[in-house]
Chains A and B, each alone.
Chain A
Amino acid sequence: MPTIAMPEPDLGILARASQIIERLTAVVSAEAVISDPQETRAYECDALAAYRCLPLAVVLPRTTEEVSAAMKVCHEMGVPVIPRGAGTSLAGGALPTADSVVIGIMRMRDILEIDTANRFVRVQTGVTNLSVSAELEASGFFYAPDPSSQLACTIAGNIAMNSGGAHCLKHGVTTNNLMGIRMVMASGEIVDIGGPLLSGSGLDILGLLCGSEGQLAIVTEATLRILPRPEGARPMLIGFDSAETAGECVARIVRSGLLPVAIEYMDDVCLRAVDAFANAGYPKCAAVLIVEVEGSEDEILHQIMRIRQIAAELNPVEFRTSRNADESLKIWKGRKSAFGAMGRLGDYLCLDGTVPVSKLPYMLKRIGELSKDYGLEVANVFHAGDGNMHPLILFNANAPGELERAEAFGADILRLCVDVGGCLTGEHGVGIEKRDLMTKQYSADDLAIQMEIKSVFDPDWLLNSAKVFPLEASKPYRDKAVRG
């Protein structure tokens, strides 16, 4: 049995299900409301698929006004709301409860404004991450954050989780590339924050909203900063015969003053899986780094030369530079398909703790030791340049007790991340997955002020409310909130 608890559904709300659905259908178009369990099944979980629950109903609005209308109904009737993007959360951020209405924005996919002179785009947040850059291709610009799920994940989800990606070492994560939002408050009120100006002049509410995991509002429109495409970019692949040496190489590159756009790490377990899956032609060794640099041809060659010098001191087993676009694609293909490839090996838990770069070698060693203790294999594939680790714990969901053992192993790794000065989650979010570990990183007061802030936006605690904060800590807030 999975070990993460969710609150019992409110029976009063379940009893009023038909009235709630009727009211929702009255305020948004009928085809936007789904309540047949055959159809709501698609919304019972996100990418943390070990946890599932059918919601009471799903609303798929096409406009901000429809989101607002649906939210008003839920607010008036005291119904919990689960905001949803594409459902690619690895942390259970979009997991419904039986008494909740899922409001999904995936039908809101319009590009509203492209302004390359002022370097921003304005979009409805149901657009996928990749489609924003695709829209910009002809103009020579792109949108920088590039989470692995970028083909599917939405801008709304990116904002909710403050998503990063492989290239955020240089260009930053979502919060560094977000200029403004239109959001629907728990009351249904529509509020605009920020816009095409480079900074705000009051409290940075935009910065608070980004990464708030659907706790504060549903974001329906976003103004995104766009960047000119680099002249060129080229990855190189560096293989090492030990994980620690690879970790050391990362630290030395970062220290050298070079700023690659990406430094990615894959260990041998991952390399084997990826090679079988994507035929990426990776070397067989303990660890591989993919380092990407960008610029003009000369700039690229200069940076490769310097990275080669740094790597050479550590005796790499292989140093391979892409010679053309096909080879670049091939080097990246393995990394980008790593999570999919690992899935073929069996079930896995994907962690997301972040540690200071200097602690990477130590972390890799400890994770290896814990792997032996727990008797579960781990693959390490992660954004090394910024210390954002993604240990994948392999287990068999059908073997009794393995999921629980994997979860306990994961919790140990995350505690270790906090102990060395890091954090529980670098880009996937807390969701339900790391909810009960929050007390490891934060004191009671640290959490209290965050929950008090949630109450400012969502006094009734209707938005995604059994997530992010430990259930025990949030209970007084959830209990106090007037329902129905």
Chain B
Amino acid sequence: MSIDESAIKALPYPVSPADEAELAAFVGESHARATPMCIAGGGTRVQPGSVEAEHMVTTRNMSGIVTYEPGALTLIARAGTSLQEVEDVLAAEGQALAFEPMDHRAILGSKGAPTIGGMVSANVSGPRRIQAGACRDHLLGVRFIDGRGRTIKNGGRVMKNVTGLDLGKLLCGSYGTLGVLTEVALKTLPLAETEKSLGFPGVTPREAVEIFVAALATSFEVSGAAFHAGTAWLRVEGFEAQVDYRVGRLKELFSGREIDVVAHAASRNLWRDLRDVRHFAPSEDAIWRILIKPTDAPDVMAALRQLGGEASLDWGGGLIWFSGPASSAAVRKAVGAGRAMLVRPGSLSAADLFPPENSAVARISAALRKTFDPAGIFNPGLMGN
């Protein structure tokens, strides 16, 4: 499988264990010698300068789908399996990962193939997150190597499981700081038969959020609510008659507004582009991902624009994408109660990609990292100390 070699070569001693046992042995040795490592799946999101490490460890050689049972809505794959392979296998059975993981290559300009392990470790989700939940909501179980080299499993492959502490949630979105994932079990869902999107041209961010709030209070299961370049978009999915019905009812709800309807493949392409934030790909500036209370989004967008740059919305206003030249401090100040994560540093320092946590949460997080990784060898410094 392909990997972004340039990212790997930026670090000495790339290591690509053949299997879980080899990885566990390597981690155990690194623990004993306290030698830090940078962890990568396909290397499509690794930011040079974000981690100081002696090794780059990739899961590239630990790939393949272990089990896929469409009737049980369950897929188990080794961490290094490419996301594309998983999506192709699911699509052949009319299923998908409902959380619609974004592809970072457009905005990061990286090559290689995103892996299922990388997706889980960063809790990568897309526009359907507002309706279907995030990656973490579809993660059923994990296997990973902890910082002492122990092989750990948690969760399983069934839809409901409260047997012991849920470590999958902790691993998901831990960006490799707690363990190296070797296998993940995910819930799959049926693909919608069809989809249509309603575009509201010529609206302000405030009007866009008003449209989102109204649409998301309906029972029409709006599965996308995004705003970019003066147009607010709503997506509905389902079987043909259902989608037509819902589009009709939403048009009634917004009868005073101009609405363009985009259907089928055009709608799919639209949401792929919005998902991957392709509209900000060409610029050289930093790109920020900002979590915000939807009704706070218009004011925060205005404050961000004061700093120069462009902003768009996803998740019904709960996610602002911002691209601009402002300093990290200025952006974090402008977002107020929101949480700003630096996804593409541009000319900014990659040393603080994550927003600071409140002191109690920072202390608990540090203690958890120490528990999983006592010698501090996994992506040290990436998410704080």
- Give A residues with C-beta under 8 Å from B: 116-119, 140-141, 161-162, 164, 168-169, 172-173, 175-176, 189, 191-193, 196-208, 210-213, 215, 228-231, 251-252, 254-259, 295-296, 298-299, 302, 354-358, 383, 386-388, 421-430, 434, 438, 441-443, 445-450, 452-457, 468-469
Is the beta-carbon distance between B167 and A208 smaller than 8 angstroms? yes
Is the beta-carbon distance between A116 and B217 smaller than 8 angstroms? yes
Is the beta-carbon distance between A202 and B365 smaller than 8 angstroms? yes
* Residues of chain A contacted by B339 (CB below 8 angstroms): 197, 200-201
Q: Is B154's CB within 8 Å of the partner chain A?
A: yes
- Contacts known (A445-B152, A446-B152, A446-B154); A388 close to B159, Cβ less than 8 A: yes
Is the beta-carbon distance between A201 and B291 smaller than 8 angstroms? yes
Interface residue from B123, B361, B384 paired with A199 (Cβ < 8 Å) = B123
* Residues of chain A contacted by B216 (CB below 8 angstroms): 119, 228
1/0 contact string of B120-150 vs chain A (CB within 8 Å): 0001010001100110110000000010001
- Contacts known (A197-B292, A203-B174, A354-B159); A228 close to B219, Cβ less than 8 A: yes
Nearest-Cβ distance from residue A386 to partner chain B, whole angstroms: 4
Query: How many A-B Cβ pairs are below 8 Å?
Result: 244
Return 6 A-B CB contacts under 8 Å, by A number.
A175-B169, A189-B360, A254-B71, A426-B158, A446-B152, A456-B364
In the docked arrangement, what's the CA distance between A427 and B166, Å?
A: 13
Among A201, A296, A453, the one with the most B-chain Cβ atoms within 10 Å of its Cβ is A201
In the docked arrangement, what's the CA distance between A140 and B130, Å?
A: 18
Nearest-Cβ distance from residue A285 to partner chain B, whole angstroms: 24
* Residues of chain B contacted by A196 (CB below 8 angstroms): 293
* Residues of chain B contacted by A452 (CB below 8 angstroms): 371
Interface residue from B74, B152, B189, B365 paired with A205 (Cβ < 8 Å) = B365
- Contacts known (A210-B166, A387-B159, A422-B156); A302 close to B294, Cβ less than 8 A: no
Which 4 A-B pairs have CB atoms at the shortest separation, nearest pair first? A207-B169, A426-B160, A386-B159, A257-B190
Q: In chain B, residues 301-341, which have Cβ atoms closer than 8 Å to a Cβ of chain A?
A: 315, 318-319, 338-339, 341
- Contacts known (A198-B291, A230-B219, A231-B219); A426 close to B189, Cβ less than 8 A: no
* Residues of chain A contacted by B245 (CB below 8 angstroms): 296, 298-299
Q: Is B45's CB within 8 Å of the partner chain A?
A: no
Q: Is B69's CB within 8 Å of the partner chain A?
A: yes
Q: Is B241's CB within 8 Å of the partner chain A?
A: yes
Is the beta-carbon distance between B71 and A358 smaller than 8 angstroms? yes
CB nearest to B364 among chain A residues? A205
* Residues of chain A contacted by B165 (CB below 8 angstroms): 208, 211-212, 215, 450, 453-454
* Residues of chain A contacted by B295 (CB below 8 angstroms): 117-118
Is the beta-carbon distance between B163 and A255 smaller than 8 angstroms? no
Q: Is B344's CB within 8 Å of the partner chain A?
A: no
In the docked arrangement, what's the CA distance between A132 and B314, Å?
A: 28
Nearest-Cβ distance from residue B21 to partner chain A, whole angstroms: 14
* Residues of chain B contacted by A455 (CB below 8 angstroms): 371
Is the beta-carbon distance between A162 and B162 smaller than 8 angstroms? yes
- Contacts known (A259-B189, A354-B158); A450 close to B167, Cβ less than 8 A: yes
Main SS at interface, chain A: loop
Nearest-Cβ distance from residue B176 to partner chain A, whole angstroms: 12
In the docked arrangement, what's the CA distance between A251 and B70, Å?
A: 10
CB nearest to B238 among chain A residues? A299
Interface residue from A198, A202, A358 paired with B319 (Cβ < 8 Å) = A198
Q: In chain B, residues 156-185, which have Cβ atoms closer than 8 Å to a Cβ of chain A?
A: 156-170, 172-174, 177-178
Among B158, B169, B364, the one with the most A-chain Cβ atoms within 10 Å of its Cβ is B158
Among B157, B160, B238, B295, the one with the most A-chain Cβ atoms within 10 Å of its Cβ is B160
* Residues of chain B contacted by A254 (CB below 8 angstroms): 71-73
Is the beta-carbon distance between B384 and A202 smaller than 8 angstroms? yes
Is the beta-carbon distance between B164 and A468 smaller than 8 angstroms? yes
CB nearest to B353 among chain A residues? A201
Nearest-Cβ distance from residue A432 to partner chain B, whole angstroms: 14
- Contacts known (A117-B213, A442-B153); A201 close to B166, Cβ less than 8 A: no
Interface residue from A201, A438, A449 paired with B146 (Cβ < 8 Å) = A449
Q: Is B151's CB within 8 Å of the partner chain A?
A: yes
Is the beta-carbon distance between B368 and A356 smaller than 8 angstroms? no
Is the beta-carbon distance between A201 and B354 smaller than 8 angstroms? yes
Nearest-Cβ distance from residue B120 to partner chain A, whole angstroms: 12
In the docked arrangement, what's the CA distance between A145 and B216, Å?
A: 19
* Residues of chain B contacted by A172 (CB below 8 angstroms): 133, 137
* Residues of chain B contacted by A252 (CB below 8 angstroms): 71
* Residues of chain B contacted by A298 (CB below 8 angstroms): 241-242, 245
Interface residue from A169, A211, A231, A357 paired with B72 (Cβ < 8 Å) = A357
Is the beta-carbon distance between A421 and B242 smaller than 8 angstroms? no
In the docked arrangement, what's the CA distance between A259 and B369, Å?
A: 38
* Residues of chain B contacted by A257 (CB below 8 angstroms): 94, 190-191, 193
Is the beta-carbon distance between B162 and A427 smaller than 8 angstroms? yes
CB nearest to A459 among chain B residues? B367
In the docked arrangement, what's the CA distance between A457 and B189, Å?
A: 35
* Residues of chain A contacted by B369 (CB below 8 angstroms): 203
In the docked arrangement, what's the CA distance between A80 and B286, Å?
A: 51
In the docked arrangement, what's the CA distance between A428 and B169, Å?
A: 19
Q: Is B199's CB within 8 Å of the partner chain A?
A: no
In the docked arrangement, what's the CA distance between A215 and B241, Å?
A: 49
* Residues of chain A contacted by B168 (CB below 8 angstroms): 207
Q: In chain B, residues 245-295, which have Cβ atoms closer than 8 Å to a Cβ of chain A?
A: 245, 291-295
Q: In chain B, residues 215-242, which have Cβ atoms closer than 8 Å to a Cβ of chain A?
A: 216-219, 238-239, 241-242
Is the beta-carbon distance between B294 and A211 smaller than 8 angstroms? no
In the docked arrangement, what's the CA distance between A325 and B383, Å?
A: 52
CB nearest to A202 among chain B residues? B357
* Residues of chain A contacted by B166 (CB below 8 angstroms): 162, 175, 207-208, 210-212
CB nearest to A227 among chain B residues? B219
Interface residue from B74, B164, B341 paired with A356 (Cβ < 8 Å) = B74
Is the beta-carbon distance between A430 and B164 smaller than 8 angstroms? yes
8 further A-B contacts with Cβ under 8 Å, apart from A198-B319, A454-B165, are: A202-B173, A203-B383, A208-B167, A208-B169, A228-B219, A427-B160, A445-B151, A450-B165
Is the beta-carbon distance between B217 and A429 smaller than 8 angstroms? no
Nearest-Cβ distance from residue B282 to partner chain A, whole angstroms: 26
Interface residue from B71, B319, B360 paired with A251 (Cβ < 8 Å) = B71
* Residues of chain B contacted by A206 (CB below 8 angstroms): 169
In the docked arrangement, what's the CA distance between A299 and B160, Å?
A: 27
In the docked arrangement, what's the CA distance between A375 and B384, Å?
A: 58
In the docked arrangement, what's the CA distance between A446 and B144, Å?
A: 10
In the docked arrangement, what's the CA distance between A161 and B165, Å?
A: 10
- Contacts known (A228-B216, A259-B190); A161 close to B338, Cβ less than 8 A: no
* Residues of chain A contacted by B193 (CB below 8 angstroms): 257
Interface residue from B71, B163, B173 paired with A203 (Cβ < 8 Å) = B173
* Residues of chain B contacted by A421 (CB below 8 angstroms): 156-158
Is the beta-carbon distance between A354 and B242 smaller than 8 angstroms? no
In the docked arrangement, what's the CA distance between A321 and B88, Å?
A: 37
Nearest-Cβ distance from residue B6 to partner chain A, whole angstroms: 27
Interface residue from A168, A199, A207 paired with B160 (Cβ < 8 Å) = A168
In the docked arrangement, what's the CA distance between A118 and B368, Å?
A: 31
Q: Is B372's CB within 8 Å of the partner chain A?
A: yes
Q: Is B17's CB within 8 Å of the partner chain A?
A: no
Is the beta-carbon distance between A356 and B361 smaller than 8 angstroms? no
Q: In chain B, residues 358-383, which have Cβ atoms closer than 8 Å to a Cβ of chain A?
A: 358, 360-361, 364-365, 367-369, 371-372, 383
- Contacts known (A254-B71, A258-B190); A423 close to B156, Cβ less than 8 A: yes
* Residues of chain B contacted by A189 (CB below 8 angstroms): 360
Is the beta-carbon distance between A456 and B367 smaller than 8 angstroms? yes
